[in-house]
Amino acid sequence: MGNYLTSTGTKPEEHVHVKPATRSTNGKGRPDIKLQDLPEDVLCSILSKLPAKEVVRTSVLASQWRSLWTACPKLSFNGAHTHGVKQHAQVFVDRVNAVLRKHRGKLVEGLEVKFMFESKLVHHLDNWIRFAISSGTKKLAFDLAPSSNLLRPGYHYTFPFHLLDKESLSCLHFLQLSFVCFKPPSHFAGLPNLRKLDLYLLKGTTRQDLENILGNCCKLECLSLVRCHLNDELRVVQPLSHLHYLKVVYCEITKIEFHAASLSTFVYDGTYIPIALRHASKLENAKISFRGAVFQHAVASLLSGLPDVQNLTLDVLILRLETRWALNSPRVFSQLRHVQIMLMISYEDHDKILYIVSFLRVAPLIERLEVHFNGTSTMWFANEGPSRREIPPCEYTHLKNLRVSGFRGARGQVEFLMHIVENAPAIQVVTVDTTQRLTDAWDPDEVKPELNSDALDMVRGPLLDRLPVGAKLLLS
């Protein structure tokens, strides 16, 4: 059972009294301190640093140690590799039940179970949750998802809200669930002390179910949703004043809308959808990955929904560009200082590269800009697109650092560099790198040193002529 049990050293309610051993001296007048002389809470702390197998082995060291490992209040069981072998699954269940019996009536701070879900396990899972409730568990984690190559539509574990009373709801601080159906009852009063909620592969859960749960988690600080398909809006109208971290990845949803005034970090990866976090005035970092979007539409949407973001990473995998310099919006990013833009440029948009300056016109305080291009071999020295002389006047007075990677000597890239340097009087460092972050890693044969050199030679002299005195130019 050692492979399924770990522990940490919070002092439990029940104590194992260890008789102090007679102390000998070390020849210098100071007594030798033996391990069994240490207080029980210190011993538990030491045990918590050991691998699970070694923790259980300590029970043979001395009679005083026989049950000390059971006093450790965090239990973790991993049976992820037992799927498909009936007797192995039963052995895992029996071992979990045996360990829980040893801890019955004791405070257990955390219970974690990782096991591929099978319908015949429902009874045991419900009993394990009953155990957690009776033990005052603060952290409950049930990872029941199959491996990625076994994912298929089917039966999921229905989380037993009916087993939770007011007291147990108040105990939970951390809840992590995967491969579950999460449907609270209509009279659900919420999880008043929940700090962190981590949901993966939710099934059978509606927009209203999730709004009912989240709207009643008034102390929630961290929320992560991965592959939770609502096919509807993810919307919480009640203020979540303590929420500071929000992650939504690979979820089939149509919109995100939260009222979270303390939000500091937001992560999204999925299809292009409207995102509204208008009350997040303390938003420090946002990482947005859209799979398919018109660049100007994506920027306008973020400008409307995240106007106060300070550091932004925008990754558009399937990109289209429009031929317009402005976003037709009276708003600007009022606190944006650092931007990373990662663009997959298609052959059809070689002539529109320069139009990405539309972003800069709504980011007047930007100090550091990184633009990472990825494209096909046809982007090398593509001589298409407008001149920078066509761009309406605009000055980037706060811009100090510019980095461009994936440089292929395309006219749009050259014009973009020249336009920035000519209109950024405070610029200190300009870096031009021919490495493409994505495609060069996929296909090393695409890396052509002779073309890289020719592309950099195109801009070396013109950039040096335009840079302010003391500014650095880095080419690679």
Count of H-run helices and E-run strands, the chain: 11, 22
Alpha-carbon span 348 to 291, nearest angstrom: 17
What are the percentages of helix, strand and coil residues in the chain, rounded to 5? 30, 20, 45
DSSP letters spanning 344-370: EE-GGGGGGGGGGHHHHTT-TT--EEE
Write out the two tokens for 415.
Answer: 């014009």
Write out the two tokens for 193.
Answer: 């002390």
Return the higher-pLDDT residue of 52 and 331. 331
Return the higher-pLDDT residue of 436 and 13. 436
pLDDT digits (tens, 9 = 90+) for 419-462: 999 999 999 999 999 988 765 545 555 556 778 899 999 999 99
How distant is the alpha carbon of residue 169 from its chain centre?
26
- Find the mean pLDDT for residues 319-335: 89
Alpha-carbon span 74 to 139, nearest angstrom: 9
Confidence at 145, pLDDT banded by 50, 70, 90: confident
What are the residues whose beta carbons fall under 8 Å from the beta carbon of 456, sequence distance 6 or more? 407, 432, 434, 475, 476
- Find the mean pLDDT for residues 237-265: 96
User: Tell me, what's the pLDDT at 173?
Assistant: 94
* Most confidently modeled range among 52-56, 71-75, 208-212: 208-212
User: Which CATH number is 292-475 given?
Assistant: 3.80.10
Query: Considering only CA atoms, which of 298, 391, 387, 325 is closest in space to residue 351?
Result: 387
Mean pLDDT, the chain, whole residue set: 84
pLDDT digits (tens, 9 = 90+) for 157-182: 999 998 888 887 888 999 999 999 98
User: Tell me, what's the pLDDT at 232?
Assistant: 95
Q: Which helix (H) or strand (E) holds 212?
A: helix 207-214
User: Tell me, what's the pLDDT at 53?
Assistant: 52
Whether residue 353 is predicted with pLDDT greater than 80 in this model: the reply is yes
User: Tell me, what's the pLDDT at 55?
Assistant: 57
What crossing angle do the helices spanning 411-422 and 449-466 adopt, rounded to 10°?
Answer: 30
Query: For the chain, what percent of residues have pLDDT higher than 70?
Result: 79
Confidence at 68, pLDDT banded by 50, 70, 90: low
User: Tell me, what's the pLDDT at 409?
Assistant: 94
pLDDT digits (tens, 9 = 90+) for 188-229: 878 899 999 999 998 889 999 999 999 989 999 999 999 999
Alpha-carbon span 328 to 361, nearest angstrom: 10
- Find the mean pLDDT for residues 118-146: 91
Q: Alpha helix locations (H) across 2-121?
A: 40-47, 52-57, 86-102
User: Tell me, what's the pLDDT at 319?
Assistant: 84
First CA to last CA distance, the chain: 55
Return the higher-pLDDT residue of 129 and 68. 129
Backbone angles phi, psi at 44, to 5 degrees: -60, -40
User: Tell me, what's the pLDDT at 451?
Assistant: 82
In order of 205, 266, 345, 451, 473, the CA distances from 371 in angstroms are: 39, 20, 12, 20, 16
User: Tell me, what's the pLDDT at 336?
Assistant: 97
Write out the two tokens for 80.
Answer: 């992820």
